[in-house]
Structure 1
Amino acid sequence: MVREWKRIFSIPNFYVVLLVIPPIIFLFYGFIYQKQFARELPMAVWDEDGSSVSRTLTDMMEQNENIHFTHVVFSNAEIEKLMKEGKIFGAVHFPKNMESDAKKNHQSNITLYTNGAYLVPAKMIYKGAAEIIIKGGLAVVLQKAEKQGMPADQANTLVQPIKLNTTVLYNPEFNYQMYLTPGLVTVGLQMALIVASVLILNLEFRRNTIDGLLKISTSSSQIIIGKMLAHLCIAWLLFILISFVVFPVFDLGKPQTDFSFFILYTLLALACIGIGMMLSAISDNLLFVVDVALFFTSPAFVFSGFTFPRWAMPWYDQIYAEIMPYTHFLDGFIKLYFMELPIRYAYPEMVRLLIFIGITFPVAIVVFQKKINQYLKNIQQ
């Protein structure tokens, strides 16, 4: 274990991947979403009605934190042009005679344009604008009812007999930093741990240091356990960096979840180290195992279900997601960190991570012992 520590701090392949790149990436991810919210998205207004109703609705939308009118347009072509140029994310069109049609009990259609190429801004604009337009329509009906002598309470009940109250839990403000930064940081950790771990065993042969290793022990189980403990200690250093530096700096710290997060994180680290050491034991081709590690870990964020539910993916993608430890870590992480549930709620995910550990390390021990035996046999000959 001590020997492996010395290697980690002296060989660039290790200390760059484990100690230099992760802190930079963690801070980089945090600063990307430092603004936390996507507010005041630029929009255009096309007002053919020019009435007090259209102006009132425009003013109401301007007061919404998601919307900011930056352009006045006079045609559909102008809206498309501004969207293509990236100057607006949406637009609203008030048709001619909108106010007069409303007074005559005729339906009037307001058109809301959103740019579906930018999915999140489009949803935020729709949410903000649709809410105001619906309220505006209800206000017109309410005003008519009151003018006809109907009491205000009765008019309110008539206009909106069923009222919807919404409660958003765990990230009620839709904070990008709270949502994305922890996920990106932890998926970056998986990648760093696996990429470093695939070098642990085959680098001994590549750097011709295997003889020094075998003077300490010829038992693959002792070698793998010692190296695993050294890399686990480095993983714990990264945990300290995340929980007590990165998260507090970006106001993401949740001290009440630190212990359960640490337990789940340790299982993720062991699963990642186990996968890497298994690959390192199987193949002596350094470039090949690094390529496999990158291919295996790079799509983890997408397949984990963090941005798109796994149940909606094709069955073969779901299978691919299941063979990545980050998928199960994320399920448990959402429960323990975001929802702040007791650790028992993450037992199923912890068991799955233990399965990774229980398979990969024994395979690595058996395969590497065969390599040691063959190497010693060749030396004796």
Structure 2
Amino acid sequence: MKTISQIIIREWKRIFSIPNFYVVLLVIPPVIFFFYGLIYQKQFAKELPMAVWDEDQSSVSRTLTDMMEQNDNIHFTHTAFSNAEIEKLMKEGKIFGAVHFPKNMESDAKKNHQSNITLYTNGAYLVPAKMIYKGAAEIIIKGGLAVVLEKAEKQGMPAQTANALVQPIKLNSTILYNPDFNYKMYLTPGLITVGLQMALIVAAVLILNLEFKRNTIDDLLEISHSSSQIVIGKMLAHLSVSWILFVLVAFVVFPVYDLEKPGTDFNFFIIYTLMALACIGIGMMLSALSDNLLFVTDVALFFTSPAFVFSGFTFPRWAMPWYDQLYSDIMPYTHFLDGFIKLYFMQLPMHYAMPEVYKLLLFTGVTFPLAVIIFQRKINLYLKNQH
């Protein structure tokens, strides 16, 4: 323990004095965390600009337009008079969608003739398109039902009977865990934690090989010739620094942006610590494998950069090709995210996240022993060459 303590203290000094470490671990992450929070500070994408093409010019079309304008997602900024004009406005980036009320819409409805309202959305902007569709579709459906209901009541049908006839089955939807579709609540924690994985792995790939690069390996070997002691000591030093980042995220960044989830701190700490150990283990294994700093850094960046995409955060993993699913499984962030959603977003007890806990422990159980074995061979070879 005395030897490991000496290695820990020595590694702390290196972390806080070598730019390769302190910039990656302590300078860049806080800046990125606060920038991520600022991006989604508005929480919702509201009042998306739209155009209206009203050929009917009736009370029904004006009522539907007014109802859509009241929706938080929609704001009519342009009036169009043709399909070509709508396309032109979209190409210029002036609108995200449009609605077209055809001629004789009101009269056709009164004659029991079907009338087709056209809703235009820009699929190149997937999220705004879905939000416009959600907001406009609900109103148009309600408007159509209201027209039928009004006609039935005018024919003498009781309001309750008419309502049951027009809408015999009513859908009640309940959205859990992020009912308001709050972008800040949804995206900011995910982006921050994927940034943590990247920082931890990129720093960890330099832990062992940097000793040779900076010609400090002799100083290290004066403390211990045992790679297991060296790996454990360095691991504990970097793990303790990763806890500084946890404190920053959980008790500074999240509260500043109103992202706290009461009662989740301990479970969040456990799943985060397991991810940190997995990331440090992967980094140290790579660091032991190669002395080429540029190469291992490139490998770390290549490995961690697509983590957000492959994790299933924005697109379900089961819908990905099998080889993409395999790639996602070898990234700690994938399993951390599954556990994080359960423990943080859904505020579930720890036992719900045990599958993810076991998978993260597997990373630790594989990478650290490999790092110990490979680095011990390097130490033995180095000592042999010295003699």
1:379 to 2:386 alignment: yes
Letter aligned with residue 174 of structure 1: F
Counterpart check, 1:140 vs 2:147: yes
For the pair 1:91 / 2:98, whether they are aligned, the reply is: yes
Shift of 1:255: 3.2
Residue aligned with 1:337, SS: helix
User: Which whole-Å deviations, capped at 9, do the CAs of 1:168-190 have from their partners, x for residues lacking one?
Assistant: 00000000000000000000000
Q: Which residue of 1 aligns with 2:72?
A: 65
Q: Does 1:301 align with 2:323?
A: no
Q: What is the match of residue 165 of structure 1?
A: 172
Give the aligned length.
380
Any conservation in 1 of the 2:102–2:116 contact (CA below 8 Å)? Answer: yes
Counterpart of 2:199 in structure 1 is 192
- Please tell me whether residue 236 in structure 1 is matched to residue 267 in structure 2: no
Output one character per residue of 1:143-184: Cα deviation in whole Å (capped at 9) or x when no partner. Answer: 110000000000000000000000000000000000000000
Match of 1:121 in 2: 128
Amino acid at match of 2:62: R
Q: Which residue of 2 aligns with 1:43?
A: 50
Task: Identify the match of residue 277 of structure 1 among 284, 302, 305.
Answer: 284
Find the counterpart in structure 1 of residue 5 from structure 2: none
Q: Counterpart of 2:269?
A: 262
> What CA RMSD, in Å, does the superposition of the two structures yield over aligned residues?
0.4
Q: 2:370 aligns with which of 356, 363, 366?
A: 363
* 1:153 counterpart letter in structure 2: Q
TM-score (norm 1): 0.99
Q: Give the corresponding residue for 1:9.
A: 16
Counterpart position of 2:4: none
Deviation at 1:229, TM superposition (A): 0.4
**What is the percentage of aligned positions where both structures have the same residue?**
84
Report the alpha carbon displacement of residue 254 of structure 1 after superposing the two structures with TM: 1.5
Q: TM-score, normalised by structure 2?
A: 0.98
Segments ≥4 residues shifted beyond 2 Å: none
Deviation at 1:253, TM superposition (A): 1.0
Matched, 1:250 2:268: no
- Residue 179 of structure 1 corresponds to 186
Structure 1 residue aligned with 2:112: 105
Which one of 203, 211, 215 corresponds to residue 210 of structure 2? 203
Which residue in the other structure is 1:312 paired with?
319
Q: For residue 3 of structure 2, what is the aligned residue in structure 1? A: none
Q: Distance in 1 between matches of 2:64 and 2:106?
A: 11
Q: Deviations over 1:187-208 (max 9, x none)?
A: 0000000000000000000000
Question: What residue number does 2:162 align with?
Answer: 155
Pick the aligned partner of 1:351 from 352, 355, 358: 358
Q: Deviations over 1:194-249 (max 9, x none)?
A: 00000000000000000000000000000000000000000000000000000000
- Structure 1: any 5+ residue segments left out of the alignment? none
Once residues 262 and 132 of structure 1 are traced to their aligned partners in structure 2, the CA distance between those partners, rounded to angstroms, is 44
The CA distance in 1 between the partners of 2:140 and 2:26, in whole Å, is 52
